[in-house]
Structure 1
Amino acid sequence: MKHPVDVHVGKRIRHRRWMVGMTQQQLAEKVGIKFQQIQKYETGMNRVSASRLWDISDALSVPVSFFFEGLEGGAEREETQSLPEDILADKEALELVRSYYAIPENQRRRLFELARVLSDAA
């Protein structure tokens, strides 16, 4: 049976890997394992050891704590109740986020404000 923490950590690995545009194979090569093991980590089927998580965090250029963000829920969970539970599992949403961060910062800020106004009007 999958443990909820393992599932959460796996989703965070997958999301970060997608955000940086890395394949499972590329991540596996950087960490020194087979891509099937990355698949098992990302689904929460296999638990990631501390040393392996350290290697994965290094390969994905994030601190180890990144993989545990959002576990406690609290206020963040209340604010996002109208969103699907795993919004970044949607490839279209992920592509939108990648595209957004590819925009120069001053234009990105204006786009953000426009999106906020449009969402308030809906």
Structure 2
Amino acid sequence: MRRMFIGMSQEKLGESLGLTFQQVQKYEKGTNRIGASRLQQIAKVLGVPVEFFFDGAPTADGVPSGGFAEAPSSSYVSDFLSTNEGVQLTKAFIRIKDAKVRRRIVDLVVALADLEGEEG
């Protein structure tokens, strides 16, 4: 997602890493595993810390949270991200550098969505 947020193509990311866009596709789909050194290279090219890829990873009890939780549908996410509102929200969100502030924003949005679900 980060690659798309910054408007980078698979070809451009692959070029920066010395890979083909097909290899980038395999990494993104989870077909091929990414080694630690390659993950570090990807993080550098995308301008994020390596921890970015683990935000929301499964907790000690094995329950996924955040980014690793199963989404209702990947097309649902893509559809939202392609709207003007989705693009504005995404661009503003990624400009926030403080991870704690980003986490609080996510928590707020989840709480509001849960509240709306209870009302509807």
What's the TM-score once normalised by structure 1's chain length?
0.60
RMSD across aligned positions (CA): 3.7
Calculate percent identity across the aligned residue pairs: 36
**Contiguous gaps of at least 5 residues in structure 1:** 1-14, 106-111
Q: How far does residue 38 in structure 1 lie from its aligned partner after superposition? A: 0.5
Match of 2:80 among 60, 77, 93: 93
Structure 1 match to 2:98: none
Alignment CA distance shift 1:67-1:33 (3 Å): same
Q: How many corresponding residue pairs?
A: 99
1:77, CA displacement in angstroms?
A: 5.5
Q: Are the structure 2 counterparts of residues 87 and 24 from structure 1 closer, same or farther at C-alpha, using a change threshold of 3 Å? A: farther
Structure 1 position 31, deviation (Å): 1.2
- Please identify, of 94-103 and 53-62, the stretch whose mean Cα deviation from structure 2 is larger: 94-103
Distance of 1:59 and 1:78 partners within structure 2? 26
Q: 2: distance between equivalents of 1:99 and 1:61?
A: 19
The 1-side partners of 2:4 and 2:79 are apart by 12
Deviation of the 1:61 alpha carbon = 0.6
Query: How far apart in 1 are the matches of 2:18 and 2:73?
Result: 26
Aligned to 2:32: 46
The secondary structure found in structure 2 opposite 1:70 is: coil
CA contact (8 A) 1:88 1:94 kept: no
Between 1 and 2, higher relative CO (CA 8 Å, sep ≥ 6) is seen in 1
Equivalent positions of 1:1-122 (< 5 A) are: 15-73=1-59, 85-86=70-71, 89=74, 90-95=77-82, 96-102=85-91, 116=112, 119=116, 122=120
Q: CA distance change for structure 1 residues 71 and 28 in 2, over 3 Å: closer, same or farther?
A: same
- CA pair 38-93 structure 1, distance change in 2 beyond 3 A: same
Q: Structure 1 residues 53 and 87, CA, compared in 2 at 3 Å: closer, same or farther?
A: farther
The alignment's TM-score, normalised by the length of structure 2, stands at 0.60
Q: Aligned in 2, Cα 1:58/1:100: closer, same or farther, shift over 3 Å?
A: same
